[in-house]
Chains A and B, each alone.
Chain A
Amino acid sequence: MRKGQYRFVAGFLLAPLALYLIFVIWPYLQTIGYSFTDWKGQSQTFSFVGLDNYKALFQDDVFLEAIWHNILFLVFIPVITILLALFFAFMVNAGGRGGAGGVQGVAGSRFYKIVYFFPQVLSLAIVAVLFGALYRSDSGGLLNGLLIKLGLVDGNNPIEWMNEPNLVLWCLMAVVVWHGVGFYLVLFSAAMQSIPRDIYEAALLDGASRTHTFFRVTLPLLWDTVQTAWVYLGIIAMDMFVLVSTTTQGTGYGGGPDHHSEVMANVMMRNFLYFGKSGYACAMGVVMLLLTLILSVVTLRATRRERIEF
């Protein structure tokens, strides 16, 4: 009986574990190993070069700039997305007419949730094409078209959104926020609905205004969810590969104009698939991993609060 059980366990674990080891774990480990070599990818011969790749990495201006851009994303994307999502979630759930029952959602809250969430089910490829068209640098782009119509922009001299060194990062951020707010709205509003109604009613009876209830009641009780959202958005901000490589100019996975929108992931992919510097690309992968780990730990530590049970 006992023996049969072990055989059963082994039988069930065999296939998933094998797949996982071959395609996930082993490549991860190899990345770390290759990062210490001068492997070029095409040939199978390479030699151990110690920390040379890492030293080169920190003199690579393009990569350093990419790190800086990822940090900017890391600061702005979570903050903007979470604030907007919290704001909308509060509006949807508690912005309605206060009847005898106290706090209520707005009419049509279901409609709003459906609309807001929709971008989340679209692939980033679709989003990239959409925003490519939206940010067109002539009057054929939706943004320029609207601004020209409103008279805010000169028709002969439209804004070159993605070609403008100072604008390109903000344009990219806008895309991520547009794509993500609905998801976090639904996430937060699920958490808000699990907060017992009588807490709100008690607060309102005590004379708290809606703003007060939000900051003193809702937000503290949502803190765990906000923290999760922060980590997820942080991971998105560290990635950005699809958007950058498809919507920005520049040969080999975008990053233009003139390296103003480089992120770590696309610099790595360029080194790997365009320049064939596999070992060097692996070292970039390891740096990205370390930064992601640090990010997760720091976020979880920094946002730790006393957990409130309800």
Chain B
Amino acid sequence: MSAPITEPTKVDGAGVPPQRNARKAPPRPGDKRTEGMALNVFSHGFLALWAVLIILPLLWLVLSSFKTDAQIGGSALGWPSNWQFDVFTRAWNKGIGDYFANTLIVLVFSVPLTMLLGAMAAYVLARYEFPGNRLVYYFFVGGAMFPVFLALVPLFFMVKRLDMLNTYQGLILVYVAYSLPFTVFFMHAFFRTLPTAVFEAAVLDGASHTRAFFQVMLPMAKPGLLSVGIFNVLGQWNQYILPSVLMQPQTSSDPERYVLTQGLIQLQQQQGYATDLPVLFAGVTIAMIPMLIVYLSFQRQVQAGLTSATLK
């Protein structure tokens, strides 16, 4: 592999190709390298400081669940002494377990439904020409711009009229509806980038439009679905405003169906009177663990999903 044109080079030292011989010169004052050094120390200092600011409060909160009430009321810097795990059982039984289950029940239905309906609408809008296509698209996407508050008052009465206040199906449908604009927006862009050839081949082979969508196009859209999926899971898991309006027991016999976020706030407000703060901190710790696990195992996808979601 001799390149036809070689740079004229002076042979230097023991015949090492000079391009590779970018010798590390000793740093001179005012050199780029010392500037890099100073910046390196400086940047590490600031970066480490902020990392501490993130980790320290969270760690402190987790440790606080091992304190007694008296210790929590005392100095914040005291080391916990009550190393027992029964506080977590107590928190779980005090409602965290139910809140967890409620959130899971809602999300198990709402996220797949969001993805399915969102992908269907986005696909049709991205791939089929029909009158009113642009209009429907902008109609969907426009909804992403408005704050939820604006719809809150009539939404409450709408759900009430459908007799779905404080029901799982009510919250599921509302979650799906409010996640659609973004899902459609994102998947629309994604379906546009997929090649048409595969689709045409499927149709030539006699697949119906529906079959072509479910068996050909949807599997091809997996990376996109993953990104929006993560976005929707986090968004719906962390949603607080919608359940706090829609998931209140309507009569005294109506059981509580709080989701996790709502339940934590509820617990926080109760603790103001009941003074069992370790339980509250244990509850928060329990609520943080699944997020931590999901985040650490999918952290690349989570970061990419959330940020690309914003940029598109």
- By the criterion of a CB under 8 Å from any partner CB, how many residues of chain B are at the interface? 102
Say how far A20's CB is from chain B's closest CB, in angstroms. Answer: 5
Write out the residue numbers on chain B whose beta carbons fall within 8 Å of the beta carbon of A24.
143, 151, 177-178, 180-181
Task: Tell me whether chain B's interface is mostly helix, strand or loop, or mixed.
Answer: helix
B173 at the interface (CB under 8 A from A): yes
Which residue in chain B gives the minimum CB-CB distance to A101? B22
Q: Are A106 and B177 in contact (CB under 8 A)?
A: no
Q: Are A288 and B149 in contact (CB under 8 A)?
A: yes
Interface centre among A16, A115, A117, A140 (most CB of B within 10 A): A16
Distance, CA A19 to CA B117, complexed state (A): 10
B7-15, B74-82, B83-91, B190-198 - the one binding chain A: B74-82
A228 at the interface (CB under 8 A from B): yes
Q: Are B61 and A268 in contact (CB under 8 A)?
A: no
Which residue in chain A gives the minimum CB-CB distance to B157? A41
A239-B147 contact in complex given A16-B118, A88-B50, C-beta closer than 8 Å: yes
Q: Are A116 and B54 in contact (CB under 8 A)?
A: yes
B219-227, B249-257, B287-295 - the one binding chain A: B287-295
Say how far A140's CB is from chain B's closest CB, in angstroms. Answer: 5
Distance, CA A54 to CA B238, complexed state (A): 33
Say how far A112's CB is from chain B's closest CB, in angstroms. Answer: 5
How would residues 258 to 302 of chain A score, 1 for a CB under 8 Å from any chain B CB and 0 otherwise?
A: 000000010011001100001001100110110011001000000
Say how far B20's CB is from chain A's closest CB, in angstroms. Answer: 10
A241 at the interface (CB under 8 A from B): yes
Distance, CA A234 to CA B228, complexed state (A): 23
How would residues 119 to 132 of chain A score, 1 for a CB under 8 Å from any chain B CB and 0 otherwise?
A: 11111111011111
Which B residues from 184 to 205 make CB contacts under 8 A with A?
Answer: 184
Distance, CA A301 to CA B242, complexed state (A): 32
Task: Tell me whether chain A's interface is mostly helix, strand or loop, or mixed.
Answer: helix
Say how far B11's CB is from chain A's closest CB, in angstroms. Answer: 21
Q: Are A182 and B54 in contact (CB under 8 A)?
A: yes
Q: Are A285 and B150 in contact (CB under 8 A)?
A: yes
**Chain A contacts to B: CB under 8 angstroms:** 4-6, 8-9, 11-13, 15-17, 19-20, 22-28, 30-31, 34, 41, 84, 87-88, 91-92, 95-98, 100, 106, 111-126, 128-134, 136, 138-142, 144-146, 148-149, 178, 181-183, 186-187, 190, 204, 209-210, 225, 228-229, 232, 235, 238-239, 241-242, 246, 265, 268-269, 272-273, 278, 281-282, 285-286, 288-289, 292-293, 296
**Chain B contacts to A: CB under 8 angstroms:** 22, 24, 32-33, 35-37, 39-40, 42-44, 46-47, 50-51, 53-58, 60-61, 64, 72-77, 117-118, 120-121, 123-125, 128, 130, 136, 139-140, 143, 145-147, 149-159, 173-174, 176-178, 180-181, 184, 208-210, 213, 234, 237-238, 240-241, 245, 260-262, 264-265, 268, 277, 280-281, 284, 287-288, 291-292, 294-296, 299, 302-304, 306-308, 310-311
